[in-house]
Chain A
Amino acid sequence: MKYLDEYRDGATARTYAQEIARITTRPWSIMEVCGGQTHSIVKYGIDTLLPAGIALIHGPGCPVCVTPVDLIDKAILIASRPSVIFCSFGDMLRVPSNGDDLLAAKARGSDVRILYSPTDAVQLAVSNPGREVVFFAIGFETTAPATAMAVWQAAQLGLKNFSLLVSHVLAPPAMEALLSSPDCRVQAFLAAGHVCAVTGSEIYEAMAKRFHVPVVVTGFEPLDILQGVLMCVRQLESGQAKVENQYTRAVRAAGNIHAQDLMRRVFQVAPQTWRGLGEIPQSGLALRPGFEAFDAQKKFGLSSVHTCEPAECQSGLVLQGRIKPPECPAFRLGCTPEHPLGAPMVSSEGACAAYFRYRSLA
């Protein structure tokens, strides 16, 4: 595939690794924010190519992993209603909560359907006027514009049988929350490339200055990540703290203003609970008052559901980058993709799943 496969070239990757080793004089800890980048790092063994002093800390950029657990319960509750067609992205179906998940709900007879795009849910609502269509709207800023479009289309069409269970999260507040934590070891960020395709790279200027931390907007293929790491290390070695863009083929400084416009029209910034991280202020998106009719939580009158997480699950520590999955006592023993204790083992973007799947031979 053009503009994809060429960035997996082994010889260039090894040359990048050599260059990084050549200029590294001290240990550095760099966090890659996005789950997709974690997946790539573990799959291609990029961490094994880097010199011993460079530590890659895996960040919380997996929207499936950070969706609040009580929302999973609400999803299952809503899906169990006979009139409801509950639509979701595929990787949400196995996220566990209280020993249950949407796939099990489907097996019990709930009408749960996997969709590729949020606007497919709008089409479902149009062609099933007698049913209530509910879409599980999760994702970072990359996905929020698509959800916004679905809401806007539903409003234009005057649909009464369409709503969303919303859990959109914003990357920069999470990064700031991590940086503000007293024992934060992160010295530089590989910022999430596709989030930045929407938001732009200049939104990190204030953060880079305030915390004196390099931020390099990075893509997802092995060569992108290696170039991103090289750019971070060059800054760290010379004491700089700037925002740079590695992913220039996809990201512009101002981002995608059309997508941002629609997001602003449909959503407003709101407090958000992150599974494993707790509440982070101003880190989520909620539907604006004009679009409240499409809020499934209001429509179905769901109040907070009490949920408890298994005590052995350390996904919070994994999401904060404090431990790597193999350091969790339950890893591979009590917790596997077949019987996951937490979301990072289920989502194929989650760090635990990545480490489980692309098992190191060490």
Chain B
Amino acid sequence: MIFSTVCNLLLAHNLDVTQGQELNLKKLNTSEKITSTHAVAWEKQLIAYEESLRANPWQKQLQSIAHNKMLLTGVVLGLIVLGLAILGPVFYDADYARQSLRNAHKPPFFEGYFLGTDSYGRDMAIRLFIGFRVSLLVAAAVTALSLLVGVMLGMIGGYLGGSTDRVVRSSTDFIWGFPLILVAVLLVGGLGEGLFPVILAVGIVNVAAITRVVRGEVVGLKEKEFVEAARAAGVSSYRIMWRHLLPNVLAPALIMASYLIAVAVIAEAALSFIGLGAQPPLPSLGKMIADGRGFLRINHWEATIPGIGIVVLVLAVSMIGDGLRDHFDPRLRHERGRKKNK
């Protein structure tokens, strides 16, 4: 409470002085002009202070982003990974499927192989880059899918309430507690191997998470005045959900999604480690680890490189997610404080 007091104190700066206006000091309630030089000087100081607070908002955003080390590191890492994934194969011309048993198990920097070769003599570097592509692709697909379905389900369940809500809630609780691997194995059993069942499996689990978050938000928002006002005005439920609830719900949903991207990457890796997911010769970071597993003594790079790749990718994603969240969250509190005083 004292902090809010302090904030109120510090933010109650907005005397209604517009920029560039002539100093027009009068004694309040009279038309006498104040002649004291001290008064004039003070008013100038005040206007200057006011202006400094209204300084370029973009500048302030960039400033606070620059201070946010986590976000920065994450972005840097992410750019590296993205660069390698997209541009790597462009500049590093190699075939990820080409085997060369003569050159198998070579460490990095051996002849032309930047990161060495695996047990089949395939180029590790290009496989790493393509592996990044696969991971990013799966993560993107999973996130898009889970956001779409999750937001929809969450809004429907949260807003409509009643039995619909109970169904939504129980199913999400159920899925959320389920070990991912079991879901994936079962799905693969039904749908066969390949990327699609993996995307579906991870997607389903992530949908549950997003639905939960969205539903929670909607239930909270449902009681707010602007929803009641819309309802009283006769706006249809569908419209309310679309125009009023959706924008408010997007923020927490996206924050959750940023966590889930990391989950998706690790899940895909875990599943491909077991053998589900991307089928050879398409490289997948998890599968590469599985392949390299038996050769740790001969050439540990085969297993360590894809592992490091996964770690870097997940780190990048989580740091960006965390940094964004930190960036927006305390700001939100700040902004609310400001609005109250205006």
A and B, one complex? no
Q: Which residues of A contact B (CB under 8 A)?
A: none
